[in-house]
């Protein structure tokens, strides 16, 4: 009897320990609430750019711009940011800039854990959508006050914000109207293609319209060549189609929050108002049209998660197994690293016509996908996320360093050295290797889509999208599931942000 009881208790304890320990963790800074944004005191450094007397080391995780990297896969030896740091250190004796040379497989989780432990990097790479929606509130300093003050390292501009891309700043604001990063580059996306496989199929020119694109994939398929084989990213393709279909309502949607650019608040209001939801036939109207294209693809990855099969699909293309691959402007660099044996070409997402779909406005939306989501997006940790920021004068010094990095000259120098992104600030020019795709960045940023209302919304939409494209569910079922996702995301957005969307 005792043995039985003991065995039961032991089994219970083992189960309890194994299951729940997976979920437990240190509740860092319990009792502390998120920091508020710094007062707009203008203490970002003196007019000469001095760091207020603080001396020490500033840590920075610069993602693709990490200089002299030995540990981050795919990064070539670049020195641009190190050169900038050396100049800063020479002008500010006692301050050292240290770059974090690590590859993080799950960066979001890394930021969460480091912030919870109060050990986040002083300056860290953070894209606007993550800073606004995914990361916990309070890990990054509100930089808005600094944007409206002079940057001592940009003598010709009245404020730091004047040197930045105003549209990008507006579009990337949080629901409360705050900017948590400086945003200096742009990633372009395009259809990349294997010229040799095109020639084998007797195709001499890349497609320039939607119907030509569908026809091209069919020709390739008929010639026994895999036209395309990848998990079509819902988040990317929705932006192409919805930015076109809703182009006439763009200003209305972007204006819900009384600020330029489409914020997560704008998206949420448009969903609630029935514009960006399934009651508007344009919202799902592109799915059947897109399926006519993916029906010519190899079906292996259609229903898969792009994050799981993305590298396989890219490797297939680089190995010459597939003819076309839709990807970011980093692909030519990947192709160079892989020493591909074929000639690489690229073409933009085509401008749609009434013959393709009655919903089109004929807008050029080739630049709607990439946008200001590359690597020159830097945020500053709060005192709660990084305990060393409590040192007197350190926060001012870190902001001063960010101002030093954040000048048009440095943005251009750092971004162009890397060579796969486009600098977006006024008075900057793209690298020669990017000129073909840089025209996307010069288009007006009028990208529309949904996904900002909830961190997992895009992933859930991708699941439905994949099931539909692979023929496992029909459009009616997909529409119903999409609406459920939208409703659920709105509920979450309202609860997390305490916003009454009905007032807009």
Partner 1 sequence: MTGKAKLKTALTGYAFILPTFIFLLWFMYYPVYQALIGAFTDWDGFNAPRYIGLDNFVRLIGDEVLRQSTINALIWVVLSIVLAVVPPFLVAELIFQLKREHAQYVYRTLFVVPIVIPGIVTILLWRFLYQGDGAINQLLEAIGLGSLQQLWLGNPNIALYSIILMGFPWISAFNLLIFYSGLQSISTEVLEAAKLEGATGWKRVWRIDIPSSFPQLRLIIILTLIGSLQNIIPPLIMTNGGPGYSTYVPILHMYNVSTVNGEFGYGMSIALIMFVIILLLTLVNMKLVKSES
Q: Which residues form the interface with partner 1 (CB under 8 A)? A: 4, 7-8, 11-12, 14-25, 27-34, 106, 108-109, 112, 115-116, 134-139, 298-305, 307-308, 312, 384-385, 454-456, 459, 463-464, 466-467, 470, 472-473, 484
Q: How far is CA 366 from CA 200, 241, 278, in A?
A: 27, 10, 24
DSSP, collapsed to helix, strand or coil, labels residue 182 as strand
Please, which residues have CB within 8 angstroms of residue 54's CB and are 6 or more apart in sequence?
A: 95, 391, 392, 393, 394, 396, 397
**Which tokens in the block code for residue 189?**
């996306």
Instruction: Using the minimum distance from each CB to partner 1, give the nearer residue, 346 or 386.
Output: 386
Q: How many residues make up the chain in this entry?
A: 504
The least CB distance from residue 297 to partner 1, in Å, is: 11
- Packing angle of the helix pair 457-469, 475-497 (nearest 10 deg): 180
CB of 50 to partner 1, least distance (A): 32
For 209, the token pair is 């319209």
Query: What Cα–Cα distance (Å) separates residue 34 from each residue in 117, 135, 475, 490?
Result: 13, 12, 43, 24
Alpha carbons 354 and 156: distance in angstroms, whole number: 47
* DSSP codes joined into one string, 78-122: --HHHHHHHHHHHHSTTEEEEE-----SSHHHHHHHHHHTTB--S
Residue 16 or 40: the one with the smaller Cβ distance to partner 1 is 16
CB-nearer residue toward partner 1: 18 or 476? 18
The three-point CA angle 340-470-320 to 5° equals 10
**What is the closest distance, in whole angstroms, from the C-beta atom of residue 251 to partner 1 in the complex?**
32
Q: Nearer to partner 1 by C-beta: 17 or 53?
A: 17
Nearer to partner 1, 440 or 453 (CB): 453
Inter-axis angle of helices 475-497 and 281-294, nearest 10: 130
User: Measured from the CB atom, is 116 or 375 closer to partner 1?
Assistant: 116
- CA-CA distance, 151 to 225, in Å (whole number)? 55
Smallest distance from partner 1 to CB 320, Å: 14
Taking the C-alpha atoms of residue 62 and residue 52, their distance in angstroms, rounded to an integer, is 24
Tokens at 217, concatenated: 């994939």
Minimum separation from the CB atom of position 227 to partner 1 (A): 15
Residue 498 CB, nearest distance to partner 1 (Å)? Answer: 12
**Least distance in angstroms from the C-beta of 99 to partner 1:** 24
- Give the nearest distance from C-beta 303 to partner 1 in angstroms: 3
For 343-414, strand residue ranges (E) read: 344-347, 377-380
* Smaller CB separation from partner 1, 176 or 249: 176
Q: Which is nearer to partner 1, 117 or 431 (CB)?
A: 117
Helix 234-245, helix 281-294: angle, nearest 10? 130
> Cβ closer to partner 1: 314 or 446?
314
CB of 452 vs partner 1, minimal distance in Å:
14
Asked if 185 and 428 count as a contact pair (C-beta separation under 8 A), the reply is: no
Report, in Å, the least distance between residue 298 CB and partner 1.
Answer: 7
> Minimal distance in Å, beta carbon 437 to partner 1?
30
Which residue, 360 or 384, is less far from partner 1 as judged by CB? 384
Supply the minimum distance, in Å, between the C-beta of residue 492 and partner 1.
8
Spatial CB neighbours of 213, under 8 Å, sequence gap ≥ 6: 191, 207, 293, 350
Nearer to partner 1, 134 or 483 (CB): 134
Nearer to partner 1, 66 or 454 (CB): 454
Q: How many CA atoms lie within 13 A of 427 on its CB side?
A: 12
Q: Exposed, middle or buried, 492 (CB in 10 Å: 0-12/13-18/19+)? A: middle
Q: Which residues contact 251 (CB under 8 A, 6 or more apart)?
A: none
What angle in degrees, to the nearest 10, is found between the helix axes of 281-294 and 457-469? 50
């Amino acid at each position: 009897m005792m043995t039985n009881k003991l065995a039961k208790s032991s089994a219970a304890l083992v189960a309890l320990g194994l299951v729940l320990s997976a979920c437990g963790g240190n509740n860092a800074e319990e009792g502390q609430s998120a920091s508020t944004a710094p007062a707009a005191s203008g203490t970002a450094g003196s007019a000469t750019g001095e760091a207020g007397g603080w001396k020490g080391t500033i840590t920075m995780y610069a993602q693709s711009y990490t200089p002299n990297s030995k540990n981050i896969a795919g990064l070539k030896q670049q020195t641009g940011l190190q050169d900038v740091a050396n100049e800063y250190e020479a002008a500010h004796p006692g301050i050292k800039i240290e770059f974090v040379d690590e590859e993080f497989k799950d960066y979001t989780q890394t930021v969460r854990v480091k912030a919870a432990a109060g050990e986040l990097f002083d300056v860290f790479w953070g894209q606007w959508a993550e800073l606004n929606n995914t990361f916990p509130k309070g890990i990054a300093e509100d930089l808005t006050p600094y944007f409206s003050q002079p940057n001592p390292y940009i003598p010709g501009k009245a404020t730091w914000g004047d040197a930045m891309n105003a549209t990008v700043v507006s579009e990337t604001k949080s629901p409360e109207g705050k900017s948590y990063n400086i945003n200096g580059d742009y990633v372009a996306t395009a259809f990349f293609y294997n010229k040799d496989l095109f020639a084998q199929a007797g195709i001499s020119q890349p497609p320039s319209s939607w119907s030509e694109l569908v026809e091209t994939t069919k020709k390739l398929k008929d010639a026994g060549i895999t036209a395309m084989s990848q998990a079509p990213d819902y988040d990317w393709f929705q932006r192409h189609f919805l930015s076109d279909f809703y182009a006439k309502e763009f200003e209305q949607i972007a204006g819900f929050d009384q600020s330029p650019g489409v914020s997560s608040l704008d998206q949420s209001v448009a969903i609630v108002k029935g514009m960006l939801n399934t009651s508007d036939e344009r919202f799902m109207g592109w799915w059947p049209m897109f399926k006519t294209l993916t029906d010519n693809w190899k079906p292996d990855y259609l229903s898969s998660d792009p994050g799981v099969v993305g590298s396989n699909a890219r490797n297939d293309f680089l190995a010459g197994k597939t003819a076309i691959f839709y990807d970011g402007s980093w692909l030519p660099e990947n192709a160079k690293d892989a020493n591909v044996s074929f000639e690489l070409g690229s073409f933009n997402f085509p401008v749609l016509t009434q013959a393709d779909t009655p919903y089109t406005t004929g807008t050029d939306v080739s630049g709607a996908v990439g946008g200001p989501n590359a690597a020159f997006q830097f945020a500053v940790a709060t005192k709660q996320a990084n305990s060393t920021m409590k040192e007197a004068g350190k926060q001012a010094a870190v902001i001063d360093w960010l101002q030093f990095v954040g000048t048009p000259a440095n943005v251009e120098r750092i971004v162009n050295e890397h060579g796969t992104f486009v600098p977006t600030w006024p008075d900057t020019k793209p690298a020669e290797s990017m000129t073909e795709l840089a025209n996307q960045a010069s288009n007006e940023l009028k990208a529309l889509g949904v996904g900002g209302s909830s961190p997992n919304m895009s992933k859930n939409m991708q699941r439905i999208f994949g099931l539909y494209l692979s023929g496992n569910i029909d459009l009616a079922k997909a529409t119903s599931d999409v609406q459920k996702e939208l409703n659920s995301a709105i509920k979450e957005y309202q609860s997390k942000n305490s916003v009454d969307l009905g007032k807009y």
